[in-house]
Every structure is written in structure tokens, then in C-alpha cells.
């Protein structure tokens, strides 16, 4: 295991054992109290219960308060989790090479990165594309968090000062993009609906107040949600068992639709942890995929430290593919992160290191392991690509395309 948890591993705390998490320092605790009070007011205004998706949205994105909108450290050693671009530039170099294949085919274009976090990936992608002589005309970033936009600008100024003037932050999707869309671990950070099967019916799970905190409460029947879950069961060819709990996302397909909608010509490459639908709703995954991260520990209680912990859910990659295809794009491929990085030539980056520089070689070999081993990020993380334009392809999907599993 790595020292730091990626957002799908980490030391996992069993339900009921959350007391073993490190206690938040007083300022973080005070911030979380403020977030709790804000959400409590909204619950009161909504007559005592709000959908879980609303709770997750507020806990992560309430302006100035939510986990991603306020100043929490989040990424890296001093934060709560580590992502692939934070762990190693090799990841971003591979994505850059894939983007270069598309830009080359298009004869130029832009890159649009969604949810750029600390800006680490933007800096490495630009760095790599500059050295391979394939810079995009502009590097656009669409980021919902004002605090993170500032952090991204600082990272780019520090790491690639000569290229920072190519970077522009957008408030919305461009009307028409010719180029490449990149997003790492953005889809899993979008709010989800949570449901439970009880008495044979689909119950929408909401959030109510309980003392100083919150608890789950079933909400009145929701036809849309029921129909969506029944459609999943129909596709699976079996009923979900009594007591089964899981999630469905409406925000995720809506975002994929926006991505596909803005692509005039080019491709999108989305990396995240998740599964094809058949595997996502397996009977033994009856507590769902919701996961929280706090100081490199993973646990399942979204009500524990609202505003100072991450909340995330796995991605239904079948839904991603369906949405993109319905929007008129063609699927480039779907595979594991390990197979994608191998197809994208991650080994070439290691081979370029001076053979006498043993320390650098060891460091890179360790990074390759973290990115590709099945017990690390290699298998749980998947890559999906889709394109508008028949002549567009990416070598990353050439190694092993698993689209037949979707
Ligand atoms: C888990 S972080 C990943 C950050 C970065 N991509 C990385 O890999 O380190 C999720 C990011 O997505 C952003 N985000 C969430 N919803 C978004 C949306 N609808 N559009 C754009 N960015 C969004 C968050 O603010 C945050 O920057």
C-alpha cells in the first residue's frame, strides 16, 4: 500500500469505528460547525428533510463553506487524499501525449480541463506538450471552486510561468470546442441520489437533523428515482434485494452531456473510479459506493465532518458511455488506468531517464507501480474516451479495450 490514500483506497474505517479518525483541529471543527448550521437551516426551510444529493452538494460546494469551495487543504500529504496527477507527473505526461495525438489530427485546438484541483495536471500537461512541440492554442479550465481557481493559478505561475498566459478560466462550457476535454476524478465528486429497497419499493433517502448533526430519513415516493432504479433492474434482469442501498447520479450524465455537447470536433478523456452498471449494482455491493475521506482515512459516514471531509461515489461508466453516444459521439474506448497508461507508453517516460541516475529511476519505477498495480490505482480507476470526428483515435485504448463490459 502507498503511504497516502487515493480516493478509492486508504486505511478504511469500518462503520462504527469512526472514533479512530484523527480529531479535527479546533479551526477545522469550527468550520464544520458553521457548515452544519448552514445545512441545518436549509433542512428547516425544507420542512425537515432534503434529498441526499442536496446535502452532498452543500457539504462539498456551498459557496465559501463547502469542502471544495472553502480553504481545506484536500490534496496531497497535508490533505485528505492524493490523486494520480498529484502522485506523479507520469500520469499527466501520458494524458498529454494522448491529447497531442488528437490535436495533431485536428491541426491544433484547445484543451479544456474540468475540475483541475490544485493545477498539478494542467502544469504537467502543458510542460509535456511544450517539450513535444504540440502546445494547445489555449488551455481552458472549468472549475466550480473559486478557491481552487486561485490555487491553480498559483501552481501554474510557479511551475510553468512561461506558459501560464495560455491558461484561461471559464465560468461555463464553451459553445463549441475543437480539441480535447480532460477530467480526472471529477465525475465521482458530483452529487448523487441515494436509495434503499424496502418492502419491495424504491425509497429515496434524504437527510434530516439529529441533535447537532444529521441522520438518514426516507423521503416521500419519488417517481423519477423509482423509474430509474426499475430500469436498472430490468437491464440487470433481476430485482435488487430487500435492504439494498446504493446511488444513482443525475448530475454525472448531465455533465457528460455538456461535455459531449460542446465538442465540435475532438475527444474527451475521463478518468475515475467506477464500474460498468452490471458490476456496480452487484447484490454484494448492498451498502452502495459512497465513501468519505478525511486525513488519508476512508470511511462511510457523510454526516461526520461536513465541509472538512471529502464525499464521493463511484461512477457508472455504462451511463457515461450511453450519454456520450446519445449525444452523437463515438466511443473511443474504455479500459483500466493500468492498461490505458501502458497503451499510452508510460514505460517510455521511464526509459528516458539517465541509466546512471539510479535514484530517479527508482522513484519513477515506484510511481509506475502506484499508478498501474491492481492493488493501487491500476484496476479500480478506469479511463473512458469518446470523440466527435470519425478519424480520431488514441493509442491508450489500443492495449486492451474493455468496452464490451459496459
Ligand atoms: C477530487 S477533485 C480532483 C481534482 C483534480 N482533477 C485531480 O485529479 O487532482 C474534484 C475536482 O472537480 C471540481 N468539480 C466538481 N464539480 C465540478 C463541475 N461540475 N465542473 C467543474 N469542476 C467541478 C472540484 O472543485 C475539484 O477541483
Could you tell me which residue, 348 or 321, shows the higher pLDDT?
321
Strand partners, 388: 266
| DSSP, res 399 | S
Kindly compute the dihedral angle of the four CA atoms of residues 32, 33, 36, 42, in this order, to the nearest 10 degrees: -120
**pLDDT grade for 70, boundaries at 50, 70 and 90:** confident
User: Cα angle at 248 between 36 and 6, to 5 degrees?
Assistant: 70
In angstroms, rounded to a whole number, what is the distance separating the alpha carbons of residues 195 and 207? 12
Cβ 115 under 6 angstroms from ligand 1: yes
3 pLDDT band, cuts 50/70/90, is: very low
Q: Which of these ranges, 239-243, 330-334, 358-362, has the smallest mean pLDDT?
A: 358-362
Q: Residue 248: helix, strand or coil by DSSP?
A: strand
Average pLDDT over residues 351-371: 89
Which ligand 1 atom is nearest residue 118's CA?
9
Ligand 1 pocket member 191 (CB < 6 A) = no
Query: From CA 280, how far away is CA 192, in angstroms rounded?
Result: 14
Position 349 confidence tier, pLDDT thresholds 50, 70, 90? confident
pLDDT at 18 over 80: no
Q: Please, which pLDDT band fits residue 78 given cuts at 50, 70 and 90?
A: confident
- Domain ranges, ordered by start, for the chain: 1-406
Task: Report pLDDT for 351.
Answer: 82
Is the CB of 184 within 6 Å of ligand 1? yes
Would you state the pLDDT for residue 14?
60
| Ligand 1 center to 220 CA (angstroms) | 31
Q: How far apart are the first and last CA of the chain?
A: 29
Neighbours of 272 (CB within 10 A): 25
pLDDT the model gives residue 2: 40
What is the pLDDT at residue 1? 33
Mean pLDDT value across residues 349-364: 86
The alpha carbon of 114 and the centre of ligand 1 are apart by a number of angstroms equal to: 6
CATH number of 1-406: 3.40.50.12710
Q: Which residue has the higher pLDDT, 15 or 256?
A: 256
Q: What is the rounded average pLDDT of the residues 275-291?
A: 96
- Weakest-pLDDT range from 21-35, 205-219, 280-294, 352-366: 352-366
Residue with cell 460542446: 262
Exposed / middle / buried, residue 37 (Cβ in 10 Å: 0-12, 13-18, 19+): exposed
Tell me if 185 CB under 6 Å of ligand 1.
Answer: yes
Q: How long a stretch of residues is the chain?
A: 406
The pLDDT tens digits for 86-98 are 999 999 999 999 9
Could you read off the pLDDT of 303-319 as tens digits, one per residue? 999 999 999 999 999 99
Read off the pLDDT of residues 257-270 as tens digits, 9 standing for 90 and up. Answer: 999 999 999 999 99
**Out of 78-82, 201-205, 260-264, which region has the weakest mean confidence (pLDDT)?**
78-82
CA distance readout (Å), 199 to 28, 141, 172, 193: 41, 46, 43, 19
Mode of pairing for the β-strands spanning 297-299 and 291-294: antiparallel
Give the dihedral sign, CA 92/96/98/99: positive
CB of 86 shorter than 6 A to ligand 1: yes
pLDDT score for 77? 72
403, 125 in Cβ contact below 8 A? Answer: no
For all residues of the chain together, what is the average pLDDT?
Answer: 93
Q: What phi-psi label fits residue 360: left (phi over 0), alpha (psi between -120 and 50 degrees) or beta?
A: alpha
Query: Which of 9-18, 66-75, 222-231, 279-288 is the least confident region?
Result: 9-18
Q: Is residue 16 predicted with pLDDT exceeding 80?
A: no
- Residues 308-334 have a mean pLDDT of 97
Q: Residue 239 — pLDDT band, cuts 50, 70, 90?
A: very high
> What residues contact 234, with CB distance under 8 A and at least 6 apart?
none
What torsion do the CA atoms of 47, 52, 57, 59 make, to the nearest 10 degrees? 80
State whether the beta carbon of 142 lies less than 6 angstroms from ligand 1: yes
| Radius of gyration of the chain from its Cα atoms, rounded to whole angstroms | 21
Q: Ligand 1 mean position to 350 CA, how many Å?
A: 28
* Half-sphere exposure for 168 (CA within 13 Å, toward CB): 13
Ligand 1, residue 312: give the atom nearest the CA. 1
Q: Please list, in sequence order, all residues whose beta carbon lies within 8 angstroms of the beta carbon of residue 308, skipping any fewer than 6 positions away.
A: 24, 28, 29, 31, 32, 35, 67, 72, 294
Residue 204 is placed in which grid cell? 429515496
Amino acid at each position: 500500500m502507498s503511504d497516502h490514500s487515493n480516493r478509492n483506497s486508504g486505511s478504511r474505517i469500518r462503520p462504527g469505528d469512526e472514533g479512530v479518525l484523527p480529531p479535527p483541529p479546533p479551526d477545522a471543527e469550527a468550520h464544520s460547525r458553521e457548515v452544519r448550521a448552514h445545512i441545518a437551516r436549509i433542512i428547516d426551510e425544507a420542512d425537515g428533510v432534503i434529498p441526499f444529493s442536496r446535502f452532498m452538494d452543500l457539504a462539498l460546494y456551498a459557496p465559501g463553506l463547502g469542502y471544495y469551495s472553502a480553504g481545506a487543504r484536500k490534496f496531497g500529504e497535508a490533505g485528505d487524499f492524493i490523486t494520480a496527477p498529484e502522485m506523479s507527473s507520469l500520469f499527466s505526461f501520458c494524458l498529454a501525449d494522448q491529447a497531442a495525438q488528437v490535436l495533431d489530427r485536428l491541426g491544433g485546438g484547445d484543451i479544456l480541463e474540468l475540475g483541475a484541483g490544485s493545477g498539478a495536471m494542467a502544469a504537467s500537461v502543458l510542460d509535456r506538450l511544450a517539450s513535444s512541440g504540440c502546445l494547445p492554442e489555449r488551455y481552458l479550465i472549468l472549475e466550480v471552486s473559486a478557491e481552487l481557481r486561485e490555487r491553480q493559478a498559483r501552481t501554474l505561475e510557479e511551475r510553468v510561468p512561461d506558459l501560464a498566459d495560455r491558461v484561461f478560466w471559464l465560468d461555463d462550457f464553451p459553445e463549441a470546442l475543437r480539441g480535447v476535454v480532460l477530467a480526472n476524478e471529477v465525475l465521482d465528486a458530483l452529487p448523487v441520489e441515494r436509495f434503499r429497497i424496502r418492502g419491495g419499493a424504491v425509497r429515496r433517502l434524504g437527510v434530516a437533523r439529529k441533535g447537532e448533526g444529521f441522520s438518514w430519513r426516507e423521503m416521500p415516493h419519488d417517481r423519477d428515482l423509482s423509474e430509474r432504479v426499475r430500469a436498472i433492474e430490468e437491464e440487470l434482469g433481476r430485482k435488487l434485494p430487500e435492504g439494498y442501498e446504493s446511488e444513482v447520479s443525475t448530475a454525472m450524465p448531465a455533465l457528460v452531456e455538456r461535455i459531449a455537447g460542446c465538442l465540435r470536433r475532438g475527444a474527451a478523456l475521463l478518468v475515475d473510479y467506477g464500474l460498468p452498471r452490471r458490476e456496480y449494482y452487484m447484490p454484494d455491493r448492498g451498502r452502495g459506493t459512497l465513501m468519505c475521506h478525511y486525513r488519508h482515512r476512508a470511511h462511510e459516514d457523510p454526516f461526520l465532518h461536513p465541509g472538512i471531509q471529502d464525499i464521493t461515489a463511484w461512477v457508472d461508466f455504462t451511463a457515461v458511455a450511453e450519454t456520450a453516444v446519445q449525444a452523437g459521439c463515438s466511443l473511443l474506448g474504455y479500459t483500466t488506468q493500468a492498461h490505458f497508461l501502458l497503451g499510452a507508453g508510460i514505460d517510455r517516460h521511464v526509459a528516458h531517464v539517465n541509466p546512471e541516475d539510479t535514484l530517479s529511476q527508482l522513484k519513477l519505477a515506484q510511481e509506475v507501480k502506484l499508478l498501474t498495480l491492481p492493488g493501487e490505482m491500476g484496476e479500480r480507476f478506469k479511463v473512458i474516451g469518446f470523440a466527435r470526428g470519425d478519424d480520431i483515435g488514441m493509442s491508450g485504448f489500443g492495449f486492451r479495450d474493455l468496452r464490451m463490459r459496459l
